Every structure is written in structure tokens, then in C-alpha cells.
């Protein structure tokens, strides 16, 4: 409750007490009431001295000094005045009440006031001024930043893990906010703006809040989209007001999340530089440029698209320090898991290091989701502790999708899926520099009928040419296995996603990564992600028809070579293909241990928790017999760019689909899946 509300309540209490006291002091007695007949009789008996007539009400005084009141009936009484005058009664008339000029003016202007009120109400709703108690209906230009005082922020550096370098870079900000004179004595100025760059879920917002928590300073939080409204000038006004509020709370931190909503390069709008977003950005640049004293105000912004920001934001004096908050490595993942595992009751067999090793490419948000899913698994199983089994189940669910054991599949479909997945797995095991096979299953997961999961032995930041070739070969393994077992006419549509991704890898090798001797180290593909900025990237527009033909031939050459290589591997290992398919039909899911037995020519041992009769996954009575679909997802290195060769460190797995999705869904893995049905 703010001070205004407290003062209002206090004055209301005082007014109520005073009103009660004054009412007690008023001792005036109400006049005696009597009926009209008695009044007329007393007049005729000369007992009335004077009367005051007010419409139908008659107040009077008797000769003995007592007062009375009576109501005249609606019927006419023309003899009343004669009686009053005949009996020497003093008669006083009262002027009828008239409406004041203000009352009449209010009644006349009521329709206009009503229309204005409706207009202001709708304007307030459109501008977002109705919530948060921020001013009246015309407070469009007021800041919408949420202020957290220093005692409201409980987040500290101990709550942030997996980004040690980023924490080291911002620690001096904490020192400056605690003791600015320490730096000012030496003539040093702290960076006015810090830009945090990194993929979603890596902890940029958490890190910014932890700076305020460590320094014990106020924290203003706002989204970049909160500046941009429908009227030109409103966003700029909000920027000014936000900095005015920050000056009153200095030293403090202003955190702008998703700054790319307002900080995109100027010139791309349709207003010729006068549209709302660009004016807001201009005002932000001016406020950060130091035209006014903003000492003690540090602006922290977060984005996962630094490439679209205006260059004026990045110059020294504005966002002059960039902090990269990338995906955590194995040590970082272990620390992040340690933070999240503190919040759940753990069994003794839980080893965060093993989970961290098996989750390459996971962000902090992904790991938090993993721990939460494990806790949900334990709760569904009526367990009191979260064990390693639940964490493994949660990891498989996130990486490969949720199991659909109830899906109805015929024996033919299951066998075809088993051969498809076995083809992926065998080539992955034989090809050099390929990621190890983590798990193979014919239990439908997500939108795939089966999944072959590969996990790198260590975090991977780039891909070699051999690794890409091995990936393409393993992608074709499923289709080749179907062709070997069902014949050319029996190949299903399940390999559509495999073909698409293998083609993308081969095309990128030639057109982006310069891994083709024929085409050389030249960029042939234009980056189409920023065409709205009005600038072209590279020399793709100079590409001739002949060059395109050569590109297509080189891509076809790589694809054909990998296809032939994969086919030869499966023909040489036909016995292992049959054995693996039989094992999948029996156990439904096999891991690295069973795969090793098969590749060494031994009968695969049953899984650790195997019981005879467990293979019921595909025979439960359910209705879904439609082709399974798998969303398009990125293989490691398939669509990246930059100095790392376009690779990430995610687990490389495959999934097949019936239809291709236009938008890739970010997931820590990308399963190699089974056929999507006939």
C-alpha cells in the first residue's frame, strides 16, 4: 500500500469521527407533526400565530410557542387562506427550489462527457495504460519498466552456472556498483552498456538479475517490445521516462530483454526513418550517448540475434562490451545440473557427471526441463526420490520424443522399421569418425515410428569432411536396408526426411563450407535470413547458370558416392543387419551393449531390466495407425555458419517424417527415425 492510500484512509477516519461528534452536539428537536384537520381546527380556534407554506408542507408556530408541521392534502382548499387571515395568522410563502446553473450545465454536457470517457477508455486499453497502476488514461509515454528494489532480488552468482567466463566479465560491474569511487579515482569509466549474446535458454536474463542481486542495487526490467506502440513518439517518450526514473534510483541496472525488437538496423522500415521503432531506437541511442549525466546507470541488453542490431548500438560508449553466453560445455552442464538437482530429493545413485556427458548441446533451460521431467516421472511412479532411471527416461524423452507404446502397428510395419533402424545403426558403427550409437528403438517416439540415436563422445564445435560423409552415409542406411529386404518396390516413404537432410549436408559441403575440390573454397549460397535489411550477402547474385549446373552435379556426385559406400557396408554386414532386426523385434530397444555383441557376431544379451513377455509395445489396442511424422530438425553441422564450420555440439540422431515442416524446432537432438508408414 502506497503513501497516498494510507493518507486517504486516515483522512476518511478523521472525517467520520468529526461527523459523529457534530451529530451528537446537534440537539434541535424536530417539530411536532399533526394531521391537516387538527391544523384547521387550531387555526379556527386562534391557537396558531404564524405559518410558513412550502408547497404541500406547512410549518407553523402556535400561540404557546410550540412548533408543528402538517402536510396539506392534494385536494384544493380555497378557504384555507380566508381562515388564516380571519384568525390573524401571519402567512409566509417560500420560493420553490430551482436548479443551479452548474446542475443544468452538467445535465446538458453529460452526453459529451460520456463520449469523451468512452474514447479515453478505449485509448487507454490500446496503449496498455490500464494495468500496473501507472498513471491515468493519458500516460502513454510513461515507462513500463518493472522496478525490483535491492531487497526484492534474491538471485546471486551462486544461482548461475555454466557460464564462468561471462560471470568473470560482469564481476567488475558489481564492484563498480558497490563502490564507484574505486574506479573514478583512477579515471576509469565502467562500460555504460553490456550486450549479452547467446542462444535461447542459456541464462542471459538470470545473469543480469544476479548482477543486481550481488551489487544490491535496484533493477529495472523491460522487454524491447514494450517500447513500440501504435503512435509515433510514444516509445521515445517511454525511453526518456525510463532513464528519468533510473536517475532517481542510481546506481541501478536497466535490463532490456529481446532488444532486437527495437534495435534492428534502421532503414528497413516503411516510414522513411520516421516510423515508431526507429524513433524509439534514436532516443535510446541519445540517452545512452551521455548527453545527460547518467552516472551509475548501467544498461544491460539481451538478444539471440546480434547480427540484426544497428551498428550505432555497438559502438564504444553505448553497448561497448559484448558478453557471449553460449551453450555450456560438459563441466558447465554438470554445474547447472547441480543447481537444479538441489531443488529435488535425490537418490544415492544419481551422478550429475554422467548426465552431463550424455546431454551435449543442452542449454540451461533444457537441463532444468530435464530435471523437472525426471521429477514428474518419479511422482507418477509414486517414488519419494528422483533416481538415475528417471533422469535417463527424461533424457530420452527430451532427445527422442515421448514413447507411444500404445500405437497399433502390424508385424510387417514393425519388421520394416527394425530393418530401417538397423541400417542406420550399422553404418554409424562401421563408418570412421562417426558418433557412437547411443540407443536404437522401434517403439514409436514423437512423430517417428523408430529412432536411432547417436551421441558424440565429447562436445563438438566443428565437423570434418569425413564426419559429414559418415553422417550422409548413415542417413541413407535406412532406405538401403528397406531396399535390400523389401525390394525396390517395397521402399517406403519413411526415408523422406533422411534424404532431405543428406541433400542439405551435401549441398552445404559444396556451396557453403568449401569442402569440394571441384568447386573450391567459394561461397555460392546467399544468406537469405536478412534480406529485409536491404543488403545482399556475398556474391550469390553473380552465380551463373553454368555454375548452378556444376553445383548440382557435384552435390549429386557426393550423394551417389555416399549411397554406394553405405550400400556396400550393408551388403558386407547382411548377417549383422538380420541379427539386429531380430533383436529389435524381440527387445524393441537395444543399447550400445547389445550393439557391440551383434557387431562381434555374438547373440545379443537381453537388457538389464528385461523380463520375458515384455515386448508388448506395439500391440496395445489403440487407434492411431496413421503415418508418423517427425519434425524437421537440424543435424549437427547441417545449417550452421560462421567460424565453427556450422557445427554445434548436439547429439546427432535421426528421425523420419511423412511431411516436412518448414520451421525447425530447436531440440537438443535430432533423431534418425524409422519409416513413416506406407
Please check whether residue 302 is in contact with residue 253, taking contact to mean a CB–CB distance below 8 angstroms.
Answer: no
d(CA 540, CA 511) in angstroms, rounded, equals 10
CB 34 within 8 A of CB 70: yes
Grid cell 557435384 is found at 554
Quick check: 610 and 589 in contact, CB under 8 A?
no
**325: DSSP letter:** -
Burial class of 601 by CB neighbour count within 10 A (0 to 12, 13 to 18, 19+): exposed
Across the beta sheet with 146-148, the strand order is 146-148, 219-223, 252-257, 297-303, 193-197, 319-324
φ, ψ dihedrals at 626, nearest 5°? -85, 160
**Residue 198 CA to its chain's centroid (Å):** 15
Q: Is 124 helix (H, G, I), strand (E, B) or coil?
A: helix
Query: Cα(253)–Cα(410) distance, rounded to whole angstroms?
Result: 61
d(CA 498, CA 493): 10
Asked whether the beta carbons of 472 and 562 are under 8 A apart, the reply is: yes
**Does 564 participate in catalysis according to the annotation?**
no
Q: Which of 258, 421, 629, 633 is catalytic?
A: 421
Q: How far apart are CA 230 and CA 275, in angstroms?
A: 10
What does the DSSP assignment read for 537-604? Answer: -TTGGG--HHHHHHHHHHHHHHHHHHHHHHHHHHHHTHHHHHHHHHHHHHHSEEEHHHHHHHHTTSPP
C-alpha cell at 177: 556498483
Burial group, residue 113, by CB count within 10 angstroms (0-12, 13-18, 19+): exposed
Q: What positions carry a catalytic annotation?
A: 421
Amino acid at each position: 500500500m502506497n503513501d497516498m492510500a494510507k493518507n486517504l484512509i486516515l483522512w476518511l477516519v478523521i472525517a467520520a469521527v468529526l461527523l459523529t461528534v457534530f451529530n451528537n452536539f446537534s440537539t434541535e428537536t424536530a417539530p411536532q407533526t399533526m394531521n391537516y384537520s387538527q391544523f384547521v381546527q387550531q387555526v379556527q380556534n386562534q391557537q396558531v400565530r404564524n405559518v410558513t407554506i412550502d408547497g404541500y408542507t406547512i410549518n407553523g408556530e402556535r400561540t404557546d410557542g410550540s412548533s408543528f408541521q402538517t402536510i396539506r392534502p392534494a385536494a384544493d382548499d380555497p378557504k384555507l387562506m380566508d381562515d388564516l387571515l380571519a384568525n390573524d395568522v401571519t402567512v409566509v410563502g417560500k420560493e420553490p427550489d430551482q436548479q443551479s446553473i452548474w446542475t443544468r450545465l452538467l445535465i446538458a454536457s453529460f452526453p459529451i462527457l460520456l463520449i469523451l470517457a468512452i474514447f479515453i477508455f478505449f485509448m487507454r486499453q490500446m496503449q496498455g495504460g490500464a494495468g500496473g497502476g501507472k498513471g491515468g488514461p493519458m500516460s502513454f509515454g510513461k515507462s513500463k519498466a518493472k522496478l525490483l528494489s535491492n531487497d526484492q532480488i534474491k538471485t546471486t552468482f551462486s544461482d548461475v552456472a555454466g557460464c564462468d567466463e561471462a560471470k568473470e566479465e560482469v564481476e567488475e560491474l558489481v564492484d563498480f556498483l558497490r563502490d564507484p569511487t574505486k574506479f573514478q579515482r583512477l579515471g576509469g569509466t565502467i562500460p555504460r552498456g553490456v550486450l549479452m549474446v547467446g542462444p535461447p535458454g542459456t541464462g542471459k536474463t538470470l545473469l543480469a538479475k544476479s548482477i543486481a542481486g550481488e551489487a544490491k542495487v535496484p533493477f529495472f526490467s523491460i522487454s524491447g517490445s514494450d517500447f513500440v506502440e501504435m503512435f509515433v513518439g510514444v516509445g521515445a517518450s517511454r525511453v526518456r521516462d525510463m532513464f528519468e526514473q533510473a536517475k532517481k534510483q542510481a546506481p541501478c541496472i536497466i535490463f532490456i530483454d529481446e532488444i532486437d525488437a527495437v534495435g534492428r538496423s534502421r532503414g528497413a522500415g516503411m516510414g522513411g526513418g520516421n516510423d515508431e521503432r526507429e524513433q524509439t531506437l534514436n532516443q535510446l541511442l541519445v540517452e545512452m550517448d551521455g548527453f545527460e549525466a547518467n552516472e551509475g546507470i548501467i544498461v544491460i541488453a539481451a538478444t539471440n540475434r546480434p547480427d540484426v542490431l544497428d551498428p550505432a548500438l555497438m559502438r564504444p560508449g553505448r553497448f561497448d562490451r559484448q558478453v557471449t553466453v553460449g551453450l555450456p560445455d560438459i563441466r558447465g552442464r554438470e554445474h547447472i545440473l547441480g543447481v537444479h538437482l538441489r531443488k529435488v530429493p535425490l537418490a544415492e545413485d544419481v551422478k550429475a557427471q554422467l548426465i552431463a556427458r550424455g546431454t551435449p548441446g543442452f542449454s540451461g533451460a533444457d537441463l532444468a526441463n530435464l530435471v523437472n521431467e525426471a521429477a514428474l516421472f518419479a511422482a507418477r511412479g509414486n517414488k519419494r526420490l528422483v533416481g538415475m532411471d528417471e533422469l535417463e527416461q527424461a533424457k530420452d524423452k527430451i532427445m527422442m520424443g515421448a514413447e507411444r507404446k500404445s500405437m497399433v502397428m502390424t508385424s510387417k510395419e514393425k519388421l520394416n522399421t527394425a530393418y530401417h533402424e538397423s541400417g542406420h545403426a550399422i553404418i554409424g558403427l562401421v563408418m570412421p569418425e562417426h558418433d557412437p550409437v547411443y540407443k536404437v528403438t522401434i517403439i514409436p517416439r514423437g512423430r517417428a515410428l523408430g529412432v536411432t540415436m547417436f551421441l558424440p563422445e565429447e562436445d563438438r564445435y566443428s565437423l570434418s569432411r569425413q564426419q559429414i560423409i559418415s553422417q550422409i552415409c548413415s542417413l541413407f542406411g535406412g532406405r538401403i536396408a528397406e531396399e535390400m529386404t523389401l525390394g525396390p518396390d517395397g521402399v517406403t516413404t519413411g526415408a523422406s526426411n533422411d534424404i532431405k537432410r543428406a541433400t542439405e549436408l551435401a549441398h552445404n559441403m559444396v556451396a557453403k563450407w568449401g569442402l569440394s575440390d571441384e568447386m573450391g573454397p567459394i561461397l555460392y549460397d546467399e544468406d537469405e535470413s536478412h534480406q529485409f535489411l536491404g543488403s545482399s550477402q556475398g556474391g550469390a547474385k553473380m552465380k551463373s547458370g553454368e555454375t548452378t549446373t556444376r553445383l548440382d552435379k557435384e552435390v549429386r556426385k557426393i550423394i551417389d558416392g555416399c549411397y554406394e559406400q553405405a550400400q556396400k557396408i550393408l551388403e558386407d554386414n547382411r548377417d549383422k543387419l538380420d541379427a539386429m532386426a531380430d533383436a529389435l523385434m524381440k527387445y524393441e530397444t537395444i543399447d550400445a551393449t547389445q550393439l557391440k555383441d551383434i557387431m562381434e557376431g555374438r547373440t545379443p544379451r537381453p537388457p538389464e531390466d528385461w523380463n520375458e513377455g515384455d515386448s508388448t509395445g506395439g500391440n496395445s489396442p489403440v487407434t492411431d495407425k496413421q503415418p508418423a511424422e517427425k519434425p524437421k530438425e537440424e543435424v549437427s553441422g547441417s545449417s550452421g555458419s560462421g567460424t565453427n564450420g556450422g557445427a554445434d555440439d548436439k547429439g546427432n540422431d535421426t528421425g523420419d517424417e511423412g511431411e516436412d515442416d518448414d520451421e525447425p524446432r530447436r531440440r537438443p537432438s535430432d533423431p534418425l527415425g524409422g519409416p513413416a508408414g506406407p
